[in-house]
């Protein structure tokens, strides 16, 4: 049979290893989404373009 894609060598194969994998995948996705915001000028310069609210 073909080889399976496995992360057991990195996260282990004990109880809770799947959650560790999920945590790392989600953290990398959030990092990628956050860094991709720098690709859009309007999002990158939002502090300059949008005035502060004076309402309290």
Number of structural domains (the chain) is 1
At which residue do the structure tokens 């496995």 appear?
A: 6
C-alpha dihedral, 13 to 17 to 22 to 25, nearest 10°: -60
Considering the domain boundaries, does residue 16 fall inside one?
A: yes
CB 17 within 8 Å of CB 11:
yes
Considering the domain boundaries, does residue 39 fall inside one?
A: yes
Structural domain of residue 22, as residue ranges? 8-49
The string of pLDDT tens digits covering residues 11-41 is: 888 898 889 999 999 999 999 999 998 898 8
Of residues 1 and 20, more confidence is placed in 20
Considering the domain boundaries, does residue 29 fall inside one?
A: yes
Considering the domain boundaries, does residue 40 fall inside one?
A: yes
Considering the domain boundaries, does residue 35 fall inside one?
A: yes
**Among candidate residues 28, 4, 6, 8, the one with its CA nearest the CA of residue 17:** 8
Its pTM stands at: 0.66
Considering the domain boundaries, does residue 2 fall inside one?
A: no
Task: Reply yes or no on whether the pLDDT at 46 is more than 70.
Answer: yes
Considering the domain boundaries, does residue 3 fall inside one?
A: no
Q: How many CB atoms lie within 10 A of CB 33?
A: 9
């Amino acid at each position: 049979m073909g080889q399976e894609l496995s992360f057991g060598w990195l996260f282990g194969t004990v109880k809770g290893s799947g959650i560790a994998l999920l945590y790392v995948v989600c953290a990398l996705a959030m990092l990628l989404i956050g860094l991709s915001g720098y690709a859009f000028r309007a999002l990158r310069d939002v502090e300059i373009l949008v005035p502060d609210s004076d309402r309290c």
